[in-house]
């Protein structure tokens, strides 16, 4: 019997995993200095949570969710994104009673039944952050500068920050009407989904990736021309703060994002080296969602970054992050078996990565393994070494050699920190 992973999912194996861990560590370091704490929500939630928040006429809800009934006939969905679960948790745990802003980050797998292709999977990983309780556009700018710092820290280059404002309940109806007018004589050419969305949710047409719809939306009215006074002030201040923080950006008035819960600010970070799936992170404001989930009116903003796309970029820029052992204890003869085990274990207790040779492997094959692992020091222990209490070491990187006592190995391989 031979088993394969399901279509559209993938294993993350060494050496790639080291790139993943580097990205995750950088995110945690940087998000925490901006005051974001980790929140771990479940991977399964009630289907309703996603339908209500993401929106019934979005691609995610219409086509992409992994939904099933459990044994008690509850409708359950594997989370397709991270914002709705965090909002559910924020409201359920009454975190609106805590001082604002409350800031959280999350990381983990998301699930969407999409057509698998480069940069698009059915189980994929996101790192995201959400901030609750502040409507001040300063926080919109802080979030983008946090993303910029994160991407710089992991060494990503040639990124574009695109921003937009999609208005609020006050100005959106006017814009919807302008869109309906615009598409009224183009209706025939739209894809069946967009035809259906035309009346209920014309904004979705702008997000459609079908070629015909992409062509037909050329020349469509810009949402930024319909903003109400307050949304315009917010959008202007946001841009002003971005300039103060040296976050380079362009306004993309066609970027409405594929989820219905956004209000005002939306943004996307794209990378020139990624081909057609070029968005590495995306997000926006969702000032109504907490209230829709039963909480008090609470402005909020967040984003999610796609781990596969980030790590692909880092792989291609060949950042060397594969760790290697500090010491390899090779063995000659049976007496060295126990000694190598004891020495390596003491090194490990000190936090030093040590490897040992195993019986049945020739010295040559042990040394080959040490070399493959890019070990720093190789020490060979045999009968003579145990008798004399001295062992030869070799540093593989420069070929230097020397001798050290058996009891001095620990300090030699991992010198104690000198107190000045």
Site residues for ligand ATP per CB under 6 A: 81, 112, 114, 119-121, 124, 126, 258, 277, 279-282, 304, 306, 308-309
Nearer to ligand ATP, 18 or 120 (CB): 120
Nearer to ligand ATP, 20 or 393 (CB): 20
Least distance in Å: CB of 116 to ligand ATP? 8
Question: Minimal CB distance to ligand ATP: which residue?
Answer: 306
Least distance in Å: CB of 64 to ligand ATP? 8
**Residues of 206-243 as b/e, b for ≥16 C-beta within 10 angstroms?**
bbbeeeebeebbeebeebbebbeeebeebbeebbebbe
* Nearest C-alpha neighbor of 19 from the set 274, 323, 276, 277: 323
Nearer to ligand ATP, 167 or 306 (CB): 306
Q: By CB neighbour count within 10 A (0-12 exposed, 13-18 middle, 19+ buried), where does 132 fall?
A: buried
CA 374/CA 406 separation, integer angstroms: 23
Least distance in Å: CB of 250 to ligand ATP? 17
Least distance in Å: CB of 308 to ligand ATP? 5
Nearer to ligand ATP, 266 or 340 (CB): 266
Nearer to ligand ATP, 304 or 354 (CB): 304
Least distance in Å: CB of 277 to ligand ATP? 5
What would the 3-class secondary structure string for 234-251 be?
HHHHHHHHHHHCCCCCEE
Nearer to ligand ATP, 63 or 177 (CB): 63
Least distance in Å: CB of 258 to ligand ATP? 4
Nearer to ligand ATP, 8 or 382 (CB): 8
- Residue 48 dihedral angles phi and psi, to the nearest 5°: -50, -40
Q: How far is CA 143 from CA 2, 11, 100, 323, 375, in A?
A: 46, 31, 16, 32, 41
CA 404/CA 412 separation, integer angstroms: 8
Whether 217 and 255 have beta carbons less than 8 Å apart is answered as no
CA 390/CA 408 separation, integer angstroms: 9
Least distance in Å: CB of 86 to ligand ATP? 14
- Tell me which H or E stretch contains 26: helix 16-33
CA 183/CA 198 separation, integer angstroms: 8
Q: Record the tokens describing residue 320, joined without a space.
A: 């060397």
Q: Record the tokens describing residue 12, joined without a space.
A: 């993350």
Least distance in Å: CB of 306 to ligand ATP? 2
Side-chain-side CA neighbours of residue 337 (13 Å): 7
Pairing of strands 159-165, 102-111: unpaired
Nearer to ligand ATP, 114 or 384 (CB): 114
Nearer to ligand ATP, 81 or 376 (CB): 81
Least distance in Å: CB of 189 to ligand ATP? 22
């Amino acid at each position: 019997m031979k088993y394969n992973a399901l279509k559209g999912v993938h294993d993350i194996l060494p050496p790639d995993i080291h790139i993943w861990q580097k990205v995750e560590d950088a995110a945690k370091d940087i998000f925490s200095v901006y005051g974001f704490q980790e929140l771990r929500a479940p991977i399964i939630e009630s289907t309703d949570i996603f339908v209500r928040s993401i929106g019934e006429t979005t691609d995610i809800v219409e086509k992409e969710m992994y939904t099933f009934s459990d044994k008690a006939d509850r409708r359950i969905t594997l989370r397709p994104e991270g914002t709705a679960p965090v909002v559910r948790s924020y409201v359920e745990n009454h975190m609106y009673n805590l001082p604002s802003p409350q800031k959280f980050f999350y990381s983990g797998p998301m699930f969407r039944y999409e057509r698998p292709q480069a940069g698009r999977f059915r189980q994929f990983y996101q790192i995201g952050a959400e901030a609750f309780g502040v409507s001040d556009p300063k926080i919109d700018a802080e979030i983008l500068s946090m993303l910029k710092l994160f991407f710089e820290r992991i060494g990503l280059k040639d990124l574009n920050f695109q921003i937009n404002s999609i208005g609020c309940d006050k100005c959106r109806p006017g814009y919807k009407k302008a869109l309906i007018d615009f598409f009224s004589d183009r209706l025939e050419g739209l894809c069946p989904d967009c035809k259906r969305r035309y009346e209920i949710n014309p904004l979705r047409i702008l997000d459609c990736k079908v070629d015909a719809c992409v062509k037909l939306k050329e020349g469509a009215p810009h949402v930024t021309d319909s903003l109400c006074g307050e949304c315009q002030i917010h959008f202007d201040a946001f841009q002003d703060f971005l300039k103060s923080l040296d976050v380079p950006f362009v306004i993309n008035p066609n970027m409405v994002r594929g989820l219905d819960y956004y209000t005002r600010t939306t943004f996307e970070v794209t990378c020139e080296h990624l081909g057609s799936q070029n968005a590495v992170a995306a997000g926006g404001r969702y000032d109504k969602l907490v209230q829709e989930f039963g909480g008090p009116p609470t402005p909020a903003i967040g984003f999610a970054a796609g781990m596969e796309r980030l790590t692909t970029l880092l792989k291609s820029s060949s950042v060397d992050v594969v760790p290697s052992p500090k010491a390899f204890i090779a063995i000659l003869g049976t007496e060295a078996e126990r000694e190598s085990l004891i020495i390596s274990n003491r090194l490990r207790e000190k936090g030093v990565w040590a490897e040992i040779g195993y019986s049945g492997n020739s010295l040559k094959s042990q040394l080959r393994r040490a070399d493959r692992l890019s070990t720093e020091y190789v020490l060979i222990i045999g009968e003579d070494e145990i008798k004399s209490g001295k062992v030869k070491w070799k540093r593989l990187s420069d070929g230097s050699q020397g001798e050290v006592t058996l009891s001095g190995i620990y300090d030699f391989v991992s010198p104690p920190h000198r107190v000045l």
